[in-house]
Homo-oligomer: A and B are copies of this chain.
Amino acid sequence: MKELIELIDKHLDEYIAIVYPEDIFKAMKYTLMLPGKRLRPVMCLETTRILGGDINNAMPSACAIEMLHVQSLIHDDLPCMDNDDFRRGKPSNHKVFGEANAVLAGDALLTFAPQLIIEKSKGLTTEQILRILHEYTKFAGAYGLIAGQVVDIESEGGKLVKSPKETLDFIHLNKTAALFRLAVRIGAVAACADETIIEKFDNFAKKFGLAFQIYDDIMDEISSFEELGKTTGKDKNSGKLTYVSLYGLEEAENKFRYHIKECYDIIDKYKSDIFKEILDKLSQRIGSN
């Protein structure tokens, strides 16, 4: 997994050259190149690999998903959104480059990601590239990631159109799970997988996304700034709707174990060390009982 992350980092760095006007490219790369787990591109490439595809074909798309993810983090951290001063243990983008550049750096990543897919996906057919772009636009926008964001913000403001449980699941099936779903779907398309396989991996990613978010909610409750590299305890202090606030810590942990178990069940037959490592790492901290 370490080698794969290094390979992704190398490509992320190479794909964006610093040209005039330098500030925008520096702002784009600043948050992008902070050391991260690169979970989404790793899952994209590993999906391609275990389905018999060539990870080089999927690399531009995998990096595009990381760019999309980082874009959402940059805009999320803005004072008018979550107002977070730190990200991955460093000052967030707008603290370094100013708010205007942070807005534009996000916009630029959101546009560069599909450009990268178009320009660098050498081993894929035109149809595959178009399908990947379609998946990208569906999951990145108001029918995916952004829908989750909007409902998240509304729920913080006390506006709930659906029940708290439905609202919470909607937020995270979109906000969190959307990019994992996009990652495995694109990985599968790059490996020429059929629709049944794409849906199977999509289902895995939905459950993984929910487990991941529950984990995140639990960690916000029980961890320190030093452990996570970002402000913690914010959810609790702001009265935010989370799996912990809605179900309590114990029930949230049970839900986490339930989803993770399903993930293991789906991915088991593919004998993927990397998916196993991802699931193991997430499980470790919560415990298996």
* Residues of A in contact with B (beta carbons under 8 Å apart): 20-21, 23-25, 28, 71, 75, 78, 80-81, 98-101, 103-104, 106-108, 110-112, 114-115, 118-119, 126-127, 129-130, 133-134, 137-138, 140-142, 146-147, 149-151, 153-154, 161
Contacts and interface: CB of A to CB of B under 8 A. Distances in A.
Given A111-B141, A126-B127, 15 more contacts: A20-B147, A20-B161, A24-B142, A24-B146, A71-B107, A81-B100, A103-B103, A104-B150, A108-B146, A111-B137, A112-B142, A114-B137, A115-B137, A118-B133, A133-B133
Contacts of A115: 134, 137-138, 141
Nearest to A119: B134
Chain B CB count within 10 A is highest, among A21, A101, A141, A161, for A21
Q: How many copies does the complex hold?
A: 2
A128 to B, nearest CB: 10
B147 A24 contact: yes
B141 A112 contact: yes
A142 B78 contact: no
B23 A154 contact: yes
B103 A81 contact: yes
Contacts of A100: 78, 80-81, 153
A161 B22 CA distance: 10
B21 A150 contact: yes
Contacts of A142: 24-25, 28, 108, 111-112
A126 B100 CA distance: 36
Contact of A108 (B103, B141, B154): B141
